[in-house]
Structure 1
Amino acid sequence: MTGQTLLFTILAAIVAIGLSLLFYFYNSKKKRSKHWIIFSVLRFLSLFSLFLLLINPKLETLELSTEKPNLVVAVDNSSSIAYFNEEENVRSFLQQIKDHQELQEKFKVDYYSFGSEIKKVDTLSFTENKTEITPLFDNLTEIYAEQVTPTILITDGNQTYGEDYLFTAKQYPQDLYAVAVGDTTFYSDLKIERVNVNKYAYLNNKFPVEVFLNYTGDKAITKEVKIELGNTKVFSKKLSFSKEKNSEILQLHLPANRVGLLSYTITAETIENEKNTNNNTKKFLVEVIDEKTNVLILSSFLHPDLGAFKKAIESNQQREASIKLISDFKESLLDYQLVLLYQPTSAFKSVFDQIRKEKLNSLIVTGTKTDYQFLNKSQDFFRKEIFTQLEEFQPSYHSGYSSFQQPDIQFSSFPPLKDNFGDVAFKTAPQVLLYQNINGVKTNLPIIATTEENQQKTGFLFGANTWKWRAKSYVQQKSYETYDDFFGKIIQYLSSNQRRERLTVDAQAFYNYGDKISILAGYFDKNYTFDDRAKLQISLQEKETEKTYQYPFILQSYSYGVNLNQLQPGTYTYKVTVEEENIQKTGSFTIVDFEVEKQFLNTNLDKLQKISEENVSFLSQGTALLTQLVESKNYQSVQKSAVKKSSLIDWKILLAIIIVCLSAEWFLRKYKGLI
């Protein structure tokens, strides 16, 4: 309580005493009650309590609490634990932790599981098909940054996805106790570590294949590595390994002799008494196609955008882009499926004439050097006001775009584009994917839009310097893939002459077993507007067993999706139908039998020792580890004190005192006949 509040409280008491005495004692003696002392006390308590409520002093109380240290138990929930037949032992150790009374009294224990994702443990399935450990340490560091939190890590130490966890674990600020799961015995092993191959190949061409093989063992061996297409051997070679020469990179080219999805099997001959033979075989698929999309990029000057366009287009092997200067261009446009016109000027007149005559697909890209007076006359899609002033604007994603499925790839964080100032008026409303955002205000002016009329498709990109978008995407994603896929969808849509369909299905030709398997679909009404009222269903049939499955699609914003992670390896045909509509799409895909979690022969004991500074135990030594934690003096409960401030106005008892005193005074005065 402050000095000022104390002074006010004393004054309140004096005033309350004065008023009470004035009312009862200093009245004329004839009217004074012989019980004036009792009445004065009651009146004093009422007035003083009321004055205290008005002053509302703050009262401070000291509260003591005991805070136990945290103990984090992080458990590997991937399928490799089940592969080592250790799932029951892990569950038993967890139950031992939960039943250890001294441990529970000393620590506040939190349980987490990790694999393909990190979550609080409720049940363990040991079915997750990926092991990513690095995010575990990042998340725990953030959650327990200011607290003492020893951590028990229960894992086989084998990571199958993401960044190597060694560095992150070494930077982890808490004491780390690793519990090794699995077999630590050394076995000789020959395995196929990785296969690099393009997803697509072209008919009558050869496609490259790169195979990485590793050998663990002391003896020198020579084994055959072969590649088969179905039952036909297409390649074989004898390779030699030893303790010193324990790896080999096999580089070869295979012919693409027929169109379709081809399934190849790479097999490394097993060695004597080899324990893990799952990693001696690996499958890969290649889709052979007999057509290629040719894109022509025309410009009157060189610009970094041109190179970015070419790189993004050719990121898909089915496409090829050629950059030509308009001053040197003498070819026919009929050799190309799409023409990209970069900042056209009057020199493009013959090109626009041919596009109009032949109804060719095109993508018009504008910028600061665009001749808008010429462009307004040369095409019938839009008109732009002509000003010499320039402006910059950033993209704003439009989720209602329906020509093809395109998620938001953080467009709003992309650098601004530059173009001439002025409104754009379209003759027919286009489909807009990105709008202009000027100084944080979203406008109705498009950056990227498309139109489709009489099977002729035209795209518009208003603004130069999109090469900066590709660079920004690389900074965000550590890869050009996300941006190239986005731009590739624009190219794919514009270069296709297929009639637009009301039902579209986005499914890959093949998936690796254990990866996320999902199929997206889009459904549009007769005006080609996305329809979110439809009920879509997919019917599947496995080719070999002829077993059938049916799943409904779930509405996901502006698309429909279905998760098929539960499917086993095999080739499936599918049919997507729309309820109460005579519309369907069919296709097929293959799930490749490859489980990365089964590729490890034993526990990665060496790495576990490095990250835990030799604090490595085995499941059989769990009791000793728990005893060590209980007896350690490094982890002690901390008594904390906190000053709690409370306002007197929150005291309900004070209100009760006022009511009781006033009521008692009134009843006594009534009883004595003073009222």
Structure 2
Amino acid sequence: MDFQGFQHIFPPAVLILIAAGLIFLSWAAYRKFSSIPPLSRWGLISLRASALIMILLLLLNPYFYSSQEIELKPNIAVFLDNSESIGITKGDYNGLQTYKELLNTLDFESRNIADIQFYSIGETVSEFNPDSLNASITQTNLSDPINAVLEMEEQVQAGVIISDGIITFGRNPSVNAFNSSIPLYTVAIGDTSKVRDISVSNVLTNATGYTNTNHIIEAEITQSGFANNTVTVSLVSDNETLDTQEVSFETDDQLKQVSFELELTEPGLKQYDIRIAPLADEWTQSNNNRLFTIDVLDSKVKILHVAFEIHPDIKAIRSIIQQDESNELTTLTWLGGNRFVEDLPEESDFNLVIVHGVPNTQEVFPFLEDLENTPTLFFELSTSRINRVQNQNLLELINKRNNQASQITLNQLLEADEQPILELPAINLADSPPLYSPLRTELSALQSTALFSINYDGLNTDFPAIAVLEQGNIRRSHVLPWGWYRMTQSTNPSQREFVIALISNIVSWTSSDPDNRLLRISPSKKTFSTAESAILNGSLQNERGDPEGDGIIEVELETEAGESRTFNMENSGNGNYRLDLPRLSEGLYKYDAVARKGEREIESQSGEFLISNSSSELTNTIRDDELLGAIARNSGGRFFTYQDVSTFWDSLRTANVLETQTQTIENYSFPVRSVYWFVIVLLLLGSEWLLRKYYSLP
């Protein structure tokens, strides 16, 4: 341990004078006590001087440095494909048996030349034990292992991916492999031989639909080895054929797309099946169908947008609202008096009324009469019109102290977890195109919440710019600034995404009924496969609105045949609950959940989910050597097949991946942080005190 110096700013001469002064004070304290022996007197002087000098040294904060070099084994991350496709026996590849023989050959765990961390490949990457390999995951996302390597590249020296390269989820990973600073070694498992087969490779449709609308469903049909053949593709629900299409193939390898138009009439989670009539000599018929669900909601969100002024914001806001297929937009553009460009709506039962600007006359409009029971969104446009729109006291959440408009930007006041409207893409609001607004504003109601305030000339203010209000079952929003069209036309895609998300979130939140439920139960996804466990997540609050951690949530699960079983959800803490169901057979399941605390029932909720027997993992069974090779090449690694891994470890050794790493551990020691030195000071002062008592000194 080497002495490095002191952490102070005093010149050495000053320190020497201070030390000399402390020694002098110690001598002066005992020079008059001639009644004690000289040796004892000098002992007392030495004890006090030593204690004071040591305190001085500790106050100057001396420090020492030491270093030690240690040898570390390299870290290697091994990603194992555990999807259903790697368990298929085909050609020379015998499924899991061959896979496990490969792992035994590579012998990761027994080699003492590297520290190995195993991860599984599925929809996401997670830590994994190779003994749990069972080919049960229903999706393969190869981009996630690459992203994981990029995040851990400072901790690992190489990555190994063992997979068949068949992607059923996520992006192509080969491009992202260019960004890896560590080599990726890929080992291909599976079979590359083609078989005569036809399959439903994909179903393209919106997962959500609405009653009294037509829903478009597109299915991709893939075949190999069936040139000059025609197949029948059917859309089926509850064993009833709803529609059929004939598909003809002209070549041996071909993909065709068929389209169905489905009329949705009843709300609920509806199960449908795309089926292909089997052909002779197919390799397998298990991929001849694909189940999917549509969550049919009861009609759309009916929105009335009334524009009382001409401004580019009108078109921009309406365009954003129409991007959401769940919205049914009715527009009115005022021409003066009681005249509008469009016909007045016959119905008045709207989920949301948007008022954009104010008229320049005091007119009364029938569609604005009953706003007390209707959610409203008020967009202001300019300060040139001083008239008030009908029921403006309900629309207005922000009062203006003056009418002079200035260029501003927004300043976000709350976080995303405090208000769902603020779940927005991250951008620098100071760099966004300027908006226009009066500067001096205030909330008109104490219950209102300001989401954004005004930033003027680079200074954040407390003046609200966008505010919301929730009273009972009615929500209202007020957007004071205008000039949003500039952001929608920005060349910066982040700014366009921000304004679209902001307006969409405001419209969605305002038009929605406040969810005051105490119990919320939902499946982690709407459709599970027979190879995985269905998961129900729940949250529970008590009547005071606090998380309830002592409740019991009982779930009754009912099959389509009417059979039922009862489960209890597991308490995860902080009012959260979870139920991992056993693997279920194919079908539509309904659940009824009841939350209780003691003998008191808090609330109940119902829902449904689907168990599907079809898997996209069986659609394509041809190993993708080209993709796995590209991942290895682009990252500086090497590609292997499961038949030839004899040079695997030699390859890593040649690339210096297996070299031990020398790490220097530096240590700085500060005596002032150790109680040991303070104990010595106390011992010195204590010894002085005992000697003084011995000689009866005052």
TM bucket normalised to smaller? 0.7 to 0.9
Say if 1:360 and 1:243 are closer, same or farther in 2 by CA, change over 3 A: same
Distance 2:591 2:251 in 1: 49
Which stretch has the larger CA shift, 50-59 or 599-608? 50-59
Name which of 325, 328, 334 aligns with 2:333: 325
Aligned residue type for 1:314: Q
CA contact 1:346–1:371 (8 Å) conserved in 2: no
Say if 1:566 and 1:311 are closer, same or farther in 2 by CA, change over 3 A: farther
Provide, for residues 252-290 of structure 1, a one-character-per-residue CA deviation record: whole Å limited to 9, x for no partner.
434557776653321123344433433220123446678
Say if 1:554 and 1:477 are closer, same or farther in 2 by CA, change over 3 A: farther
CA contact 1:382–1:424 (8 Å) conserved in 2: no
Say if 1:652 and 1:606 are closer, same or farther in 2 by CA, change over 3 A: same
1:603 aligns with 2:616: no
Distance 2:578 2:677 in 1: 63
CA contact 1:312–1:488 (8 Å) conserved in 2: no
Instruction: Name the counterpart of 1:73.
Output: 78
Instruction: Name the counterpart of 1:344.
Output: 358
Q: How does 1:565-580 map to 2 (within 5 A)?
A: 568=584, 569-579=586-596, 580=600
Aligned residue type for 2:142: I
1:107 aligns with 2:137: no
1:223 aligns with 2:196: no
Distance 1:644 1:436 in 2: 49
Runs of 5+ consecutive residues of structure 1 not aligned to the other structure: 23-30, 34-40, 668-675
Aligned residue type for 2:221: L
Say if 1:666 and 1:585 are closer, same or farther in 2 by CA, change over 3 A: closer
Distance 1:480 1:604 in 2: 41
> What is the Cα deviation at residue 387 of structure 1?
0.8
CA contact 1:178–1:615 (8 Å) conserved in 2: yes
Distance 2:47 2:449 in 1: 79
Say if 1:301 and 1:660 are closer, same or farther in 2 by CA, change over 3 A: closer
Aligned residue type for 1:299: A
Distance 1:633 1:320 in 2: 62
Q: How does 1:400-419 map to 2 (within 5 A)?
A: 406=420, 408-410=422-424, 413=427, 418-419=436-437
Runs of 5+ consecutive residues of structure 2 not aligned to the other structure: 28-36, 40-45, 691-698
SS in 2 for 1:374: coil
Instruction: Name the counterpart of 2:638.
Output: 615
SS in 2 for 1:350: coil
Distance 1:210 1:548 in 2: 36
Distance 1:652 1:508 in 2: 57
Distance 2:346 2:591 in 1: 36
SS in 2 for 1:326: strand
Say if 1:157 and 1:480 are closer, same or farther in 2 by CA, change over 3 A: farther
1:335 aligns with 2:371: no
Instruction: Name the counterpart of 1:486.
Output: 505
Distance 2:185 2:548 in 1: 54
Q: How does 1:223-262 map to 2 (within 5 A)?
A: 223-243=231-251, 246-255=254-263, 262=270
Say if 1:196 and 1:87 are closer, same or farther in 2 by CA, change over 3 A: same
CA contact 2:362–2:388 (8 Å) conserved in 1: no
Instruction: Name the counterpart of 2:438.
Output: 420
Distance 1:458 1:662 in 2: 74
SS in 1 for 2:220: strand
Name which of 428, 446, 467 aligns with 1:447: 467
Name which of 192, 195, 198 aligns with 1:187: 195
> What is the Cα deviation at residue 125 of structure 1?
5.5
CA contact 2:200–2:220 (8 Å) conserved in 1: yes
Name which of 659, 662, 676 aligns with 1:636: 659
Distance 1:425 1:663 in 2: 68
> What is the Cα deviation at residue 114 of structure 1?
3.4
Say if 1:221 and 1:142 are closer, same or farther in 2 by CA, change over 3 A: same
Aligned residue type for 2:424: Q
CA contact 1:343–1:366 (8 Å) conserved in 2: yes
CA contact 2:109–2:116 (8 Å) conserved in 1: no
Instruction: Name the counterpart of 2:402.
Output: 387
Distance 1:619 1:500 in 2: 54
1:117 aligns with 2:140: no
State the TM-score, normalizing by the size of structure 2.
Answer: 0.72
1:626 aligns with 2:631: no
Say if 1:565 and 1:254 are closer, same or farther in 2 by CA, change over 3 A: same
> What is the Cα deviation at residue 213 of structure 1?
1.7
Provide, for residues 173-205 of structure 1, a one-character-per-residue CA deviation record: whole Å limited to 9, x for no partner.
2222212233333323222222223442554x6
Say if 1:489 and 1:577 are closer, same or farther in 2 by CA, change over 3 A: farther
1:157 aligns with 2:157: no
Instruction: Name the counterpart of 1:279.
Output: 287
Distance 2:573 2:689 in 1: 70
SS in 2 for 1:297: strand
Q: Identify the structure with the greater helix proportion.
A: 1
Aligned residue type for 2:147: D
CA contact 1:355–1:361 (8 Å) conserved in 2: no
Aligned residue type for 1:235: D
Provide, for residues 609-637 of structure 1, a one-character-per-residue CA deviation record: whole Å limited to 9, x for no partner.
22224933344655642354356656433
Provide, for residues 198-220 of structure 1, a one-character-per-residue CA deviation record: whole Å limited to 9, x for no partner.
442554x6543322122233855
> What is the Cα deviation at residue 157 of structure 1?
1.5
CA contact 1:373–1:386 (8 Å) conserved in 2: no
Distance 2:305 2:424 in 1: 27
Distance 2:67 2:525 in 1: 66
| Percent identity of paired positions between Structure 1 and Structure 2 | 16
Provide, for residues 555-578 of structure 1, a one-character-per-residue CA deviation record: whole Å limited to 9, x for no partner.
999x97756776744222333445
> What is the Cα deviation at residue 164 of structure 1?
1.0
State the TM-score, normalizing by the size of structure 1.
Answer: 0.74
Say if 1:646 and 1:603 are closer, same or farther in 2 by CA, change over 3 A: same
CA RMSD between the two structures? 5.8
Provide, for residues 397-420 of structure 1, a one-character-per-residue CA deviation record: whole Å limited to 9, x for no partner.
47898xxx9475137856686433
Distance 2:414 2:133 in 1: 39
Provide, for residues 569-621 of structure 1, a one-character-per-residue CA deviation record: whole Å limited to 9, x for no partner.
42223334453248544454544544333433143222112222493334465
Say if 1:512 and 1:315 are closer, same or farther in 2 by CA, change over 3 A: farther
> What is the Cα deviation at residue 356 of structure 1?
2.5
Distance 2:452 2:381 in 1: 18
> What is the Cα deviation at residue 81 of structure 1?
3.8
Distance 1:44 1:115 in 2: 72
> What is the Cα deviation at residue 151 of structure 1?
2.1
Distance 1:363 1:541 in 2: 41
Instruction: Name the counterpart of 2:143.
Output: 134
> What is the Cα deviation at residue 76 of structure 1?
2.5
SS in 1 for 2:194: coil
